[in-house]
Structures are given as structure tokens and as C-alpha cells.
Structure 1
Amino acid sequence: MSTVETRAIGRALVAPSVALLFIWMIVPLAMTIYFSTLRYNLLNPALAGFVGVENYVYFLSDPAFFTALRNTLTLIGSVLAITVVGGVGLALLLDQPVWGQPIVRLMVIAPFFVMPTVSALIWKNLLMHPVTGLFAWLANLVGAKPIDWFAQAPLFSVILIVAWQWLPFAALILLTALQSLDEEQKEAAEMDGAGAFSYFAFIVLPHLARPITVVILIETIFLLTVFAEIFVTTGGGPGLQTTNIAFLVYAQALLQYDVGGASAGGIVAVVLANVVAFFLVRLIGRNLEA
């Protein structure tokens, strides 16, 4: 059997799965685009009608959109800063030989496997509750006034919860990269009398550049769709202080019953996500080629 025939058979075997995946993706997208051109409210379905790009104009000119966009960018930037810096430090600590190292690593990585809804409930009711939470108890212990986190610093509270979830992921990726560092480089640095800071700045950090780029790429794509943590803790409030793009689309669809406007918002969110992913993929491609 020739190479051409082998490739043809391979493509024929894979084709049904690819076609099914394509249908699975394209049908919901096509339906969303269709509904985004309609004036369609679930409370008044009889008044549905074609409006073209009116829903897009309304969504993009709504002050809530700019607030949600700012909150989304703030959330992504803050979580990335915390997880990358904290992930590097945590990876360096976990790379040190200690007794019970596998158990310690498992405990550190465990938060990543907790469902977002569950972790949000834990933080809301057990840690950040202004009366019965752990932070309130610690504040009372030192004579300070407890903070009502979700009323006084709502966006910061959401950032902490999301960063707590993604920090183990960053640490795991960076730890794996750290363990692939050539032992000869370590020995050469020690022989040259390099201190801890010089060793980290000129050997460890350049070695971690690529995995840090991967962490930023993966986290950014997922952070664009953060929803459960906001829904469980703040409900997008107070006001619009914790409303991001994903929650704004949800609010229009299931709180205002505006299917047309929410569909337009969903398409806008998809476009933004693809633009961000495009630039990040180009960035990581340059990094890998360097």
C-alpha cells in the first residue's frame, strides 16, 4: 500500500469525527448569529422581528459594556500577575527536597481540582464572611474591624478567589519546566560563584520564559469566561463592580430575557476572545522560535 493510499484511508477514518465536531461547533454559532439579528425577548416572543445590526450597536454603546470590559481586563491582568509571580515562587519552593514532598505537592495542587462553584462557596461562607468567616475571626483576634469583602472590595475578592484556583496550575507547569533545567548549568553556576539572585535572574528565569508564556496563553483564554465565581459570590454587583463580559451576556439573556441582545453580546465576546487568542498565539510562537 502506497503512502498516498495510507493517508487517504487515515483521512477517511478521521473524517466522521471531524465532521461531527464541525457540526457541533458551527450549528450553535450559526444559531447565535441568527438570533443576534432579531429583536427577540422571551417575555414578548410575538414581537420578534429582524433588526440587523441594531443589537450589536446597542450592546457596544451600552455603558455597562465598557464597565464589563474594564472589569474583565482588570480580572485577567490581576490574576495573571498573581499566578505567574506566585507560581514561580511556589515552583521554586516545591523543587526543594523536603520530607513528604509528593504529599506537599498534591496538597498545593489540590485547589485546581476544586469546582469553581464549590471554591466560591468556600471563600464566601468560610473565609470572607464578615461575621463568621476566618478572616473576620482573625481581625477580631487582633482587635481590628472585620472587612465585608464582597461589599467593600468586591472585584478584589473575586480576583483572590480566581487566582487561588489558577495558582496551582501555574505552579505545576513551572515546576515541571524547572525540573528539566540542566544539572550542568547549576554546577557551572556554582563553580563560577554565582549567588542565589544571579542564578535565578540569568539561568532560572530565562529557562522559565517559554512555560510562563504558555501559562499566560492558557489562563487568559479561560479567564475570559469566568462566571461561576461572580454568580455565586457577588451576582455581578454591587451595581456593575464585578460584572464581566460573560456575566453581562448572562444577565441580558436570563435576567432581562433579551435573547437578541445577549446573542449579539455572545458574538462580541467570541470575537474578543479570538482576537486575544490570535495575538497570544503569535506571541508564544515567537517565543518558541527564539
Structure 2
Amino acid sequence: MNRFLPRILLAPAVITLFLWMIVPLVMTIYFSLIRYNLMQPDQTGFAGLSNYEFFITDPSFATAVINTLLLLGSAIIVTVVGGVALALLIDDPFPGRGVVRLLLISPFFVMPPVNALMWKHMMMNPIYGVLAQVWQFFGAEPVDWLTDLPLFSVIVMVAWQWLPFATLIFITALQSMSREQLEAARMDGASYLQQLRYLVLPHLGRSIAVVVMIEMIFLLGVFAEIYTSTAGGPGDASTNVAFLIFKQALLNFDAGVASAGALFAVVLANIAAVFLIRMVGKNLD
């Protein structure tokens, strides 16, 4: 009896967690296999794989997948490289380091819609935005970022918000690094770049893997920044998979096709997770 007591005590939590995950998944699979358009309530019944075919053959599908991968890869590269650089910059003690760290971390606590609105109106507005004023100061023509470079603009918004998260993780990792190794390397004549390559970056390997994994999980579902700033446009220029599912669900009122798209997103996330788990596992060995 004592052997099974821990399992019995854990059973309610495990069952609740299982139902919390499996019930939405089963409902999504069910809706993806039936005709369920809110604008056509008379058309019902089993649809087979037609919802999946409709979603995959959508003219916006290929663009949405490419935009998702570009957004994901670009934001991760910017946050990892920038996070390592900022962490190294503020790792050594200096007056006001605590205030600087607080200011660097604060953007991560800004809500995504607020972040998008701030960049849309305060920074990227072609008339009164900060960037427009800088361009005019140097005698250049202001750029209409959200119209001319919509996907790049979204990448900037997302990377700006996630950069503090990466910086915080890397700062924490650097604090656990052996200072004796760095001092020994300096005494042996190692340059700063050699220390960075052979000591600092290997030490940050696990932290980089964790940052990449966490960011990839969340960035696959970026929606608020796109909806608030560009609405997926112009055309499909900034539409990702999450926003395409939204268009099918709430703009076209087709819950069946949207459910098929949601399952595609789940498959895409699991494929990415397989590579990430392998990468993290190698860094943890």
C-alpha cells in the first residue's frame, strides 16, 4: 500500500493535466474532419481531409510558412547574439550596473500588443515617429516601415521584446563562470577573442540551447504583434501560420479549416521540438 500511495496522491493532478491537454486536442481533430463554417450552418457532415487540403492549398499558405521560419530564425539570431553581447558588456562591475540591468530587462515585461503599438506609433510612424525624425535630421526620406518592410518591422518588435530574456539568462550563466580560468588564460597570454571562443561561449552553450528552445516554442505562435501592427499585410507580406489560422477561423468563419491549420501548427512545433531536444541534450551531456 505504501508503494502505491504517492501514485494515488498524484493521480488527481495527472488526470486533470491529461484532460486539460487531450480534450482540446481531440476537439480540434474532430472539427478538422467535419464541415463547420459558421456562415454556412446548413453544410455539415464528415469532410475527410478536405479541410487539410483547403488549408495547405490556400494561396497564403507557402508565404505564411516562409514568414514563420524567417521570423523565427531572425528573432532567435538577434536575441542570442545581442543577448551574449549585452551580457558580456554588463558582466563586469561598474557604477549603476543594477539600474542598467533593470532597464535592459524591463522590455520583456511589456505586453505584446503594447509593444506593437509603441513601435507602430512612437518609433516607426513615417510622419512623427522617432525613426522618421532621425531620418529627417540627416536629410533622408523617412521610411514607411510597416508598409515597405512589414516582416522586418515585426521581427524588430519581437526581437526587442525577447532580447532582455536572453540577456537575463546569459548574465546568470556568466555569474557562475570560474574567474580563475579567465585569470589563468590572461596570464598565459590569451587574447579577449580567444577567451571568448574557448572559455565563455562553451560555458554559455547550455544557456544558449535553453534560450533557443524556449524562444522557438513561443515565437512559433507570434500573433499579437502582427495583428496590432500590420494585420498580416500588405497582402500576405507579414502573415505567419498563426495569423493565417486566425484569418480562417475569425475572418472566414471556417472552424473546420482553422482546426486543420491548428493541427498543422502542432506538427510543425513538434518537428522543431525534436531538433531542439536533441540540441539541448547534446549540450547537457
Q: Normalised by the shorter chain, which TM-score bucket? A: over 0.9
Divergent runs of 4+, >2 A: none
Partner of 2:88: 92
| Shift of residue 133, structure 1, vs aligned partner | 0.7
Q: Distance in 2 between matches of 1:23 and 1:94?
A: 45
Partner of 1:195: 191
Per the alignment, in what secondary structure is the counterpart of residue 197 of structure 2?
A: helix
Indicate the residue corresponding to 1:64 in structure 2: 60
Are 1:131 and 2:117 an aligned pair? no
Give the unaligned 5+ runs of structure 2.
none
- 1:237 and 1:285 map into 2 onto residues whose CA distance is 39
Q: Paired residue for 2:206, among 203, 207, 210?
A: 210
Which residue pairs with 1:267 in the alignment?
Answer: 263
Q: Does 1:102 align with 2:77?
A: no
Q: Which residue of 2 aligns with 1:146?
A: 142
Q: For each residue in 1:145-167, what CA deviation from the matched residue of structure 2 results, as whole angstroms up to 9, or x when unmatched?
A: 11100000000000000000110
CA distance in 2 between counterparts of 1:115 and 1:96 reads 30
Q: CA deviation at 1:256?
A: 0.5
The equivalent position to 1:119 in structure 2, one of 115, 120, 141, is: 115
The whole-number CA distance in structure 2 between the counterparts of 1:274 and 1:43 is 32
Matched, 1:183 2:179: yes
Distance 1:107 1:63 in 2: 43
Q: Distance in 2 between matches of 1:155 and 1:269?
A: 19
- Of 244, 253, 256, the residue aligned with 1:248 is 244
Percentage of identical aligned residues: 57
**2:157 corresponds to:** 161
Separation in 1 of the partners of 2:178 and 2:94? Answer: 21
* CA displacement at 1:18 relative to structure 2: 1.3
Which residue pairs with 1:25 in the alignment? 21
CA displacement at 1:243 relative to structure 2: 0.4
Unaligned runs of 5+ in 1: none
CA distance in 1, matches of 2:40, 2:237: 30
Could you list the per-position Cα deviations for residues 45-97 of structure 1 after superposition, in whole angstroms to 9, with x for gaps in the alignment?
Answer: 12122111111122122231111000000000100110111011000012021
Secondary structure, aligned partner of 2:66: helix
| 1:179 Cα deviation from its structure 2 partner | 1.1
* Matches of 2:191 and 2:271, distance apart in 1: 42
Distance 1:102 1:46 in 2: 63
CA distance in 2, matches of 1:211, 1:201: 15
Structure 2 matches for 1:63-82, cutoff 5 A? 63-82=59-78
Please say if 1:282 is aligned against 2:282: no
How many residue pairs get matched? 285
CA shift for structure 1 position 29 = 0.9
How big is the alpha-carbon RMSD for the aligned residues of Structure 1 and Structure 2? 1.0
Letter in 2 for 1:35: F
Q: What does 1:213-252 correspond to in 2, within 5 Å?
A: 213-252=209-248
